[in-house]
Amino acid sequence: MTLAKRIIPCLDVDNGRVVKGINFENLMDAGDPVELAARYGREGADELTFLDISASVDDRSTTLDVVSRTAEEVFIPLTVGGGIREVRDVNQLLRAGADKVSINTAAIKRPQLINEIADRFGNQVLVLSIDARRANTVSGFEVTTHGGRQSAGMDALEWMESAVARGVGEILLNSMDADGTRKGFDLELIKAARDVVSVPIIASGGAGKVSDFSDALGAGADALLAASVFHFGTFTIAEVKNELAAARYPVRQ
């Protein structure tokens, strides 16, 4: 059976509000996360991704509250990321209503965390978020941290391969070069990733027009994540799905 291609709105949350910028800068307020999540649930989103971009230890309780309120409003899978540093953080988020967790910086600092989470909860719960950009590395792409501002000193594709071997069930692949530009997904990056891993790839960064989504699926993505084009009403989830269905991609209507 062919799996349906997923459309996933992304809620980047900063201090309890959804924000969006270009290349992670000049952030604008895009609304209340619980209200937006409920709207996307009604509009046919297949999943939601909730990323606390300002997560800190002090902020964790606020995040749990927002996650639990969001989970009460939506009946589609919810992935939560930001501030996850150990197994107990994952346990708290799953209890608050998350279906999956997304890890990034903590896994770079301590890759064994991937094994620990996968061993405890299963790899279907674990998404590795990679903020990649072009650089002079083996593959031509490097891993970045701090919203794409700092190099992690790692080749993006090598990191992806090793993380999957440790137990990551899915890759959230965000192109820092394309993020917020609305010039299309980074097809070269998606193709390169597809060549080295077999787990599902969620492509992120650069959606600007409806046809960009089918282009990314053609490059090898399994799911498509977008933020500003949905938050600010450029087009709807239904319009994207209609385009994909017309291009003969399986989607849930």
Residue 196 lies in a domain: yes
H-helix or E-strand containing 27? Answer: strand 25-31
Residue 166 lies in a domain: yes
Rounded Cα distance between 214 and 177, Å, is 20
Q: How many domains does the chain have?
A: 1
CATH of the domain at 181: 3.20.20.70
Inter-helix orientation angle 156-166/187-196, to 10°: 40
Supply 89's token pair: 């953080």
122, burial (CB in 10 Å: exposed 0-12, middle 13-18, buried 19+): exposed
Residue 170 lies in a domain: yes
Residue 223 in 3-state DSSP?
A: strand
Q: Which of 48, 63, 47 shows the shortest CA–CA distance to 15?
A: 63
Dihedral of alpha carbons 18, 188, 173, 140, sign:
negative
Name the active-site residue from 12, 52, 155, 186: 12
> Domain span at residue 190?
6-246
* Catalytic residue flag (residue 12): yes
Residue 149 lies in a domain: yes
Rounded Cα distance between 4 and 37, Å, is 21
How many other CB atoms are found less than 10 A from the CB of residue 246?
A: 9
Q: What is the pTM of this model?
A: 0.93
H-helix or E-strand containing 35? Answer: helix 33-43
Rounded Cα distance between 220 and 200, Å, is 9
Residue 71 lies in a domain: yes
Residue 1 lies in a domain: no
* pLDDT per residue as tens, the chain (253 positions): 679 999 999 998 887 888 866 545 556 777 899 999 999 999 999 999 998 877 644 555 568 888 999 999 899 999 999 889 999 999 999 999 999 999 999 999 999 999 999 999 999 999 999 999 999 999 999 999 877 788 999 999 999 999 999 999 999 999 999 987 889 999 999 999 999 999 999 999 999 999 999 999 999 999 999 988 998 899 999 999 999 999 999 999 8
* Catalytic residue flag (residue 131): yes
Name the active-site residue from 131, 179, 215, 222: 131
Residue 252 lies in a domain: no
Dihedral of alpha carbons 59, 169, 106, 135, sign:
negative
Residue 198 lies in a domain: yes
